Structure 1
Amino acid sequence: MTTSALSAPPLHSSAHDDNVPNGEDQAQRAAELAALHRAADAGEEAAAWVRQLAGRQGEEEHGRLLERVAEAIVKASSREIIPGSDGLLTEELRYTLAADVVLGASHTTGTLPELHPGERMPLIAVCSIAATLPSCVLGDLVREVEVLAAEMEAATDAGRAAELPAAG
């Protein structure tokens, strides 16, 4: 049986070796990894909701735009949160996640996307939060990502709740 490179002990060990992670470093890395997973999960859930919005669009252009937004949410809430990076999104992702997503392709269709009352604000919130997540690497990554992931989850829940018919 072989051990994976990740679980193998270091080849040499010294109390003075700065490259050997201590318990505190390992705990910090574990906390960062957990926060990054939570952000990715929140992004996946938000993207699934946005894909539902895309699926019910009568105008094909609105649907395509919302599909791109969903993909951008996934990227910004996972692959773009890179510890040690400058925390900036690519221009394409910034543009795709801009708050004017709620206007959809209205410049070409002359119509707005078909959104239920109460869905526009959660859509703006989800996009704004996704666009902000990568910048957390410049501050307290764990705390900031945890807060923003929780807010993304709440915005997604609010968007989904807006779809439900009012009880009467």
Structure 2
Amino acid sequence: MTTSPLPALPLHSDTHETEAPDGGEDQAQRAAELAALHRAADAGEAAATWVRELASRQGEEDHGQLLERVAEAIVQASSREIIPGSFGLLTEELRYTLAADVVLGASHTTGTLPELHPGERMPLIAVCAIAATFPSCVLGDLTRELEVLAAELEAATDAGRAAAEPATG
């Protein structure tokens, strides 16, 4: 298991005597990177909360347990798996858990599909797909890519929540 870069990254950088004259630019870049990491983690937590809500509605325990695992995988992929300097790859287990077939739930054991409102399946697929891409941002422009993906994750989560509103409201 990998560890989160969030605790390892400083909330502010101390200036060192050996720092280059352009150290302010490096500090600004690190601060922007840290803010993007936190935004990704927050978006992942919000998405996971929504997926846990889906899990709590399941009549079949197997579907609920699978969605709970998906929620944890979203949290992990959007935070602890984003490791600057790494190869940006998810573990096989996380890739499998976040695969699009999550909308089928545990249908292979239950013979049924998860109980989802119309319009929730596509946002669920989107949330999983977006979460799975977060770690690969370390291979490019981490700050910019995390900001874009966090915004898309937030939008997919909002769409999923909105799909349930007519059914519950």
Please, what TM-score do these two structures have when normalized by structure 1? Answer: 0.89
Letter of the structure 2 residue corresponding to residue 44 of structure 1 = E
The residue number in structure 2 matching 1:134 is: 135
Consecutive unaligned residues of structure 1, counting only runs of 5 or more, are none
Kindly state the Cα deviation for residue 7 of structure 1 after the two structures are TM-superposed. 5.9
Structure 2: gaps of 5 or more residues: 1-9
Give the partner amino acid of 2:61.
Answer: E
Residue type matched to 1:138 in 2? L
Aligned residues with identical type, % of pairs: 83
Question: Which residue matches 2:39?
Answer: 38
Instruction: State the match for 1:80 in structure 2.
Output: 81
**Alignment CA distance shift 1:148-1:9 (3 Å):** closer
Query: Which residue does 2:7 correspond to in 1?
Result: none
Counterpart CA distance in 2 for 1:161 and 1:63 is 20
Do the aligned partners of residues 134 and 8 (structure 1) sit closer, same or farther apart at CA in structure 2, a change above 3 Å counting? closer
- Normalised to the residue count of structure 2, the TM-score between the two structures is 0.88
Q: How many residues align?
A: 159
The 1-side partners of 2:32 and 2:25 are apart by: 10
CA-based RMSD of the aligned residues comes to 2.1
Corresponding residue for 1:110? 111
1:64 deviates by 0.1
Paired residues for 1:47-126 under 5 Å: 47-126=48-127
Note if contact 2:13-2:27 (Cα within 8 Å) is conserved in structure 1: no
Q: Which amino acid letter does the alignment assign opposite residue 39 of structure 1? A: A
TM-superposed CA distance for 1:165, in Å, is 1.3
